Structure 1
Amino acid sequence: MNLSARPLFAALSIGLLSSTLAVAASPASHWEYTGEKGAAHWSEVDPAFATCAMGHLQSPINIDHAVKADLPPLNFHYGSAAPTIWNNGHTVQVNLPAGNTLDVGGQTYELLQFHFHTPSEERIKGKSTPMVVHLVHKNAAGELGVVAVLIQAGAANAALTPVFQHLPRPGEKITVDALSLDLAALLPKTLGYYDFAGSLTTPPCSEGVHWMVLKTPATLSAAQIAAFRKLIGSNARPVQPLNGREVKESGD
């Protein structure tokens, strides 16, 4: 998952999954997904990334043997919004203005941004999907809640078509004044989910993130998936140990 700085999901800069819930990393700390600065070596790139290796609640995970539970419903209050689309070199991130919220378990989270990973970082019984969308929210206490929407290849996604029509080059931000995204249409009709405690999935890998992985996937066309892969390449952190964590599953 990625976080972005925003006067948009602030006192703390939440850049792609370079969020500053932890000690800020040096601006010169460049990380990658593979090679000497890849996921296996993030903790060596900068001392601020130590949690990537030392943390015990790291994400993503393989979801298996989830425990059925009476989880609170996910109540999304999403409308339409004009986005800023940013290619930060690790993903395409869509920053959003205030006003779109998620209510769950007595907590209200504001949607800050969403971004993509390919293949999906989350695995269900060992299997990934071609992509995933991470919808990044923050509550009044500064705690993050991330909703993951798994993506299968299928019909073109009309809600995301405007984003894929304006994919920016690395380092580029695009604001299209006339562009408005129907955020509610990003979600599948069925909102059953898996629930667990985790972390950011990119440096600094800060923990204390509430993860909600929807069980029903959405779709993108093969062409939309291919366009993202051509631009970004593979950008999924390997799954991390559960370390005794319980994963809960809603009944629906």
Structure 2
Amino acid sequence: MKTTLRTLAVLTMGMLPALAMASHWSYEGEGSPEHWSEISPENQMCKQGMNQSPIDIDNTLKAHVNPLKTRYVDSPATIINNGHTVQAGFTANAKDSVMIDGVSFQLQQLHFHAPSENTLHGKHYDMEMHLVHKNADGELAVVAVMFETGAANSELSKLWQAMPAKAEESSQLTQKIDINKLLPSDLSHYRFSGSLTTPPCSEGVRWLVMKHPVTLSEQQLKQFTSVMHHDNNRPVQPLHGRVVVE
């Protein structure tokens, strides 16, 4: 049953308020990314930050990064159309997590951008999924997965079946999501330090961008873009000397 986004405020407040709640920022017109810092004093990092995301992944440093260890189980979720993206939120007692450098990060939510926000050698993918995690100290880590058009994605279909068509609506998924099926079989990835890609653009976020894409059908991509009505990707940001490792 669909409800308004306001009824889910208690569930989403602890995730990422800028993503979970609609506000005056947008991807077009006066609220577009180049104006985010003008909308609120809290958004100054969007303009002044030196470690902003997304980025273009081009030159990398071979550093033998630790393998990503995932622990995703079938989890119930609430799917939200907040006007900026389509987001699936997970309860506080969900057991989905990843292990990064020996530290456990619990999955908070996942959401989508089309076209992709991060690029590879200047190339946008058709869509990008961000799995947002938080550790016990409140630090964030985002696992990013690229999608390219091809075969339909059966697990994505479960999300899309419940996707609200209107902003500030939500619905409870009737089927549990197996996040493992939204990931490539090879979890090799690029790593860099970055930020949230939406206001307030907070920095100190660990980014892990999967090297290998997964697929979605053209119809699945069209279903998402038709609901969004516009591209929802922030332009790539300067590296300012940052190194991307793999």
Q: Using structure 1 for the length normalisation, give the TM-score.
A: 0.89
Do the aligned residues in 2 keep the contact of 1:85 with 1:163 (CA within 8 Å)?
yes
Cα distance between partner residues in 1 of 2:34 and 2:60: 27
Alpha-carbon distance in 1 for matches of 2:41, 2:18: 18
- Structure 1 residue 136 and structure 2 residue 132: aligned? yes
The whole-number CA distance in structure 1 between the counterparts of 2:207 and 2:195 is 8
The alignment yields a C-alpha RMSD, in angstroms, of 1.7
Kept in 1: contact 2:15–2:109 (CA 8 A): no
Deviation at 1:50?
0.6
Residues 18 and 200 of structure 2 are in contact (CA less than 8 Å); yes or no, is this contact kept in structure 1?
A: no
Letter matched to residue 107 of structure 2:
L
The DSSP-based 3-state class of the residue aligned with 1:103 is: strand
Counterpart-to-counterpart distance in 1, 2:52 and 2:172? 33
The 5 A counterparts of 1:188-203 are: 188-203=184-199
How far apart, CA to CA, are the structure 2 residues paired with 1:213 and 1:61? 11
CA contact (8 A) 1:80 1:181 kept: yes
Alignment size in residue pairs = 235
Which residue does the alignment assign to 2:179? 183
Which residue of structure 2 lines up, in the alignment, with residue 108 of structure 1? Answer: 104
Which residue of 76, 85, 98 maps to 1:82? 76
Q: 1:86-140: per-residue Cα shift (whole Å, max 9, x none)? A: 0000000001132101012111000111000000000000001010000000011
CA distance, structure 2, for counterparts of residue 134 and residue 66 of structure 1: 21
Q: What are the ranges of 5 or more consecutive residues in structure 2 without an aligned counterpart?
A: 1-7
Indicate conservation of the 8 Å contact 1:135/1:147, yes or no: yes
TM-score, normalised with respect to structure 2: 0.91
- Cα deviation per residue 1:50-91 (whole Å; 9 max; x = unaligned)? 100000000000001111111011000001011100000000
Larger proportion of helix:
2
**Is the aligned partner of 1:15 residue 2:17?**
yes
CA distance in 2, matches of 1:189, 1:241: 31
Deviations 1:220-252 (A, max 9, x none): 110000010111020000000000001001xxx
Counterpart of 2:240 in structure 1 is 243
Partner of 1:204: 200
Which of residues 48, 53, 70 is equivalent to 1:59?
A: 53
Structure 2 residue matching 1:140: 3-state secondary structure = coil
Aligned partner of 2:5 in structure 1 is none
**Distance in structure 2 (CA, Å) of the matches to 1:227 and 1:182:** 21
Q: How far apart are residue 5 of structure 1 and its match?
A: 6.4
